[in-house]
Structure 1
Amino acid sequence: MSEINRDGDLELNIGAARALHLAAQDMLAPRRRRASKADVLAAIRRMGMLQIDTISVVARSPYLVLWSRLGDYEPGWLDELLAEGHLFEYWAHEACFLPIEDYGLYRHRMLDPEA
């Protein structure tokens, strides 16, 4: 349950706060079908970036992040999207896969990392 208090602030109970957090991470949407390569790209666009983490207990972190949002998908699609130029790798917070349409937002830092 949620309500607006007298100060105009939104107050959430723990269940509503959890649901809000999971929805914001795109983890509550029901899966209608097996994910496609386009769904992988759309998920990365919604997240804004996908952090590259080389730690691999079960699988590398980027693949687990996508699986948690998409369900069954082909992990090789991430590499294909990179090779096809739909994504690029850059240091954005950490090493990340980023949508190519955001390239211009990072170009100045590529040219002058101290900027």
Structure 2
Amino acid sequence: MSTAQTIVNQIKHHLLRNPNDAHLFVNAAKPSIESTLAVPTREMRQAGKAIIEALQVHQFNLRLYGLGEAKTLEDWIPNTIPNKDLIVGYLQSKLDTSTCVYLAMERAKVSL
């Protein structure tokens, strides 16, 4: 199975479990009949590495220190953190790592 098909299957599986998260995927990718798997750009690779690091750091800090004075995860994570919504979704177990990386990379591609 190709990497692209694996990603598609993971997204389908996620949406079957969490149909209310469909809005996360709408703007991330715009498929067409002629679309092919693009070679990731430097910015896309950087975004993928950055989101993995952010997920690990925030998960570790949450387990070690808890929310502290913040009442919600949204309040706990600063607004200056890129892809904050993906990190919150991951920490709430609504998104898996692969989905977060894919969406972060697609957002980096769209922003070019």
Larger relative contact order (C-alpha < 8 A, sep ≥ 6)?
2
More helix by share: 2
Q: TM-score, normalised by structure 1?
A: 0.25
More strand by share: 1
